[in-house]
A and B are shown apart, each in its own frame.
Chain A
Amino acid sequence: MSAPLLEVDGVRRVYSSGGLLSRRRVVAVDGVDLRLDEGQPEIVTVIGESGSGKTTLARMILNMVSPSAGAIRFRGTDLSAVRGTAARLAFMRQVQPIFQNPFEAFNPMKRVDRYLFATARHMAGLAAPADIEAAADRALRDVGLSLAEVRRRYPHELSGGQLQRVAIARALVSRPALLVADEPVSMIDASLRASIVSLLRGLCVRTGVSIIYITHDLATAYSVSDRILIMRLGKVVESGPARTVLDDPQHEYSRLLKSSVLSPEVPSNGAFFHA
C-alpha cells in the first residue's frame, strides 16, 4: 500500500453561534473520513447542499480551521503540529486553496498581479523579477489569461470569471501536491468551465497534483472526477467512484440532487417552472 498523502479521520467541527436569543450549536462537519494516497493523483469531488459543511471541510484540510474532533494528517504530519512560519509556509506550498468567491479572496485595494508576484516570491522561492513575471504569466496562461491582461489591474476591474481564473492561476504558481478548490467554476460559463475542469484534469494527470474539487455542477463532477463524496448536513451520505455513484445514486438526497439538475434543453411545453 502506498503512503497516504492526506488522511482525514472522523473530523467534526462544531460552531456555536451566539445571539442572546438564539444561542445554537451548528455541527458543520460531522464525522467525515477521506484518504488520498501519494503517487495516486486523483480528483475527488465533494458535492452537496449549500451549507452542508463542504467549505468547512475544505478549510480544515487547508489548516485554516481546526477540527473540534478527529484529525487530519498531510504526508503523515498532523495539521495541529504545523505551527510556526516556516512549517506553515512549507505546508502552504504543498496544499493550495482556490476559493469560492473571488471577490472575497482578493483585497479590493491590492492589484491582482501583486498576488501572483508575491506567491511566486514566497511560495515558489523565486527572486529575479524576470523569473517572477514568467511564473505568473505561465500560471495565467494555464487558465486562459496572460500577465499583459491583468497587469496593474485591481479586483473590481476584472469580471467575476476573470478574477476566478486569476485565483486559480495563483494557486498553481507554487506547483502544489494538493489543490483544494472550493467551487472554482461557479462564476464561470460552461465553455470556460469545460476548459478549466479539463485543465484541472490535465494538471492532475501531467503534474500529479491531487485535487479536492467542491462543486454544484454534477455534470463536470461526473466527467472529471475519480471519486465523489455527497454531503448533507455535515455528513457524507454517499461516496464512491464518481460514475458509479452518479449513474445509480442510492441515498435519497443523492437522488434528489441528480433529479434537480436542469437539462440544457428548452422543455417542449416551455413551462418548466409552472407548478
Chain B
Amino acid sequence: MSAPVLEVSGLRAYYRTAAFGIRREVRAVDDVDLCVEAGEIYGLAGESSCGKTTLIKTIANAIQPPLEVLAGSVVFNFKDQRIDMHGASREELRDIRWKRLSYIMQGSMNVLNPVRRVRHAFVDFAFRHIGRSKAEFLDIVRAHLRRLHLEPDVLDAYPHQLSGGMRQRVTIALATVCRPEFIIADEPTTALDVVVQKGVLAMIHSVQRELGSSVIFVTHDMAVHANLTDRLGIMYGGRLVEEGRTADVFRRPRHPYTAHLIASLPRLGDAAPKEGLTGAPPNLADPPSGCRFHPRCPLASDICQREAPPMTELAPGHRAACFHSDQVMPP
C-alpha cells in the first residue's frame, strides 16, 4: 500500500498570548496523530471550540499569531512531491495552494470580494496554476462550472447577486478548478437550508469522486458525516479521541463522548430536544487534568483524573483514547 497522502504526527498548536502581564495558552490542538489515505473523505467532528478549525489551519499552514505550532509534523505525500508543511518555504507553499491543496475556510462563502465579479476570483486564484492563455483558461473554468451543474453566467455575477447556496457552490468550484489532490473544507454547508445543503454535499461528493482527491471535511453535524464521510475522527478538547470507519464509529462508538454525540442526534419527530451534555466544554486555557472529558464523563474513575488515556487500536482501523472503552454502550 502506498503512503497516506497526509500524515499528521504529534501535532501540538497553541494560541499563546500575553496581555497585562498575564500569559495565556489555549491548547487548541494537543498531540494529534492522523492519516488520510488517497481518495478518501475523512470527516472531523466535535463540539464547538474543540479545535477543529485550529487543527486544519495548522495542517494547511494557515497559521497566524497568536497561533503557534509547538511540536509535531504535517507531511503531504502528493503524487510527485513530498512536502513538510511546516518546513516548506513560502514559495513552495504558494505553489501547492489551490493546485494541490485547496482549503475552503469556515465562512468562506464570504471570501468572494463583494465589489468584484466572480470571474476575478477565478483569475486571481487559478490563472497562474493552469498556465494557459486567458481565453483557454476561461474555457477551462466554464467547462468546470458546467461539470458542477453551474451556469457559466455566474462568472459575470457579483457575489451579492447569488444566493448563499450558489455562493458556496461557486466557492467549491473555485477550490476544485485546478483539480487539487487534497481538499480541506471547514463547515462548508453549515449555513445552508437542508435542501440546498443536500445539493452542495452531493456536489462535493461527485467532484471528489471525479478528481479522486482526498478530502478532510469538518463539521459538527454528525448527520452529514453519516452520509458523506468514509472515515471519521472525533475531537474533544483539543485532542483526537476516536477514529475509525464512519460506519464503525456510528455502529459501535468506543469513546463515551462519541457515544453521547450519537445518542444526542436530533431526529425529525422527537417530541422534546435530546439531553445535551451536562457541564461546559473544557476551558482549553486550563484544561482538566488526565482525560479532558472526565468532568463530564459518566464512566470516569480515579485514573481518568490522573492520566491522559492514550489512543489505542481497539479493532482494525478503529482507535479511541479511553481507559474504559469496553464499557461504552453501543447506541
**Chain A residues close to B by CB (< 8 Å):** 17, 19, 21-22, 47-51, 100-101, 103, 144-146, 149, 152, 157-162, 164, 183, 186-198, 201, 216-220, 222-224, 246-247, 256-258, 260-267, 270, 272-275
Contact at A263–B223, with CB atoms within 8 Å?
A: yes
Contact of A50 among B19, B107, B196, B247 (CB under 8 A): B196
Tell me the smallest distance from the CB of B309 to a CB of chain A, in Å: 21
Contact at A260–B273, with CB atoms within 8 Å?
A: no
For residue B274, CB closer than 8 A to chain A, the reply is: yes
Ordered nearest first, which 8 A-B pairs have the shortest CB separation?
A: A161-B48, A195-B276, A159-B49, A219-B266, A189-B220, A273-B205, A264-B265, A264-B223
Q: List 14 A-B contacts (CB under 8 A).
A: A22-B161, A149-B280, A161-B48, A190-B274, A191-B276, A192-B47, A192-B277, A196-B276, A198-B276, A223-B271, A256-B195, A257-B193, A263-B226, A264-B223
Contact at B227–A216, with CB atoms within 8 Å?
A: no
Contact at A194–B251, with CB atoms within 8 Å?
A: no
Chain B residues with CB under 8 A of A159:
48-49, 53
State the CA gap A115–B198 with chains docked (Å). Answer: 36
Contact at A222–B226, with CB atoms within 8 Å?
A: no
Q: Within B46-78, which residues are at the interface with A (CB < 8 Å)?
A: 46-49, 53
**Chain B residues close to A by CB (< 8 Å):** 15, 17, 19, 26, 46-49, 53, 106-107, 156, 158, 160-161, 163-165, 187, 190-198, 201-202, 205-206, 220-224, 226-228, 246-247, 250-251, 260-262, 264-277, 280-281, 283
Contact of A260 among B191, B198, B265 (CB under 8 A): B198
Most buried by A among B106, B161, B266: B266
Chain B residues with CB under 8 A of A190:
220-222, 261, 264-266, 274
Contact at A216–B192, with CB atoms within 8 Å?
A: yes
Contact at A160–B106, with CB atoms within 8 Å?
A: yes
Most buried by A among B164, B251, B267: B267
Contact at B223–A223, with CB atoms within 8 Å?
A: no
Chain B residues with CB under 8 A of A145:
280
Chain B residue with minimal CB distance to A144?
A: B280
Contact of B228 among A152, A223, A273 (CB under 8 A): A273
Contact of B47 among A158, A191, A267, A270 (CB under 8 A): A191
Contact of B191 among A100, A264, A267 (CB under 8 A): A100
Contact of A188 among B201, B220, B273 (CB under 8 A): B220
Given A50-B164, A189-B46, A219-B268; A261-B15 close (CB under 8 Å): no
Chain B residues with CB under 8 A of A272:
227-228
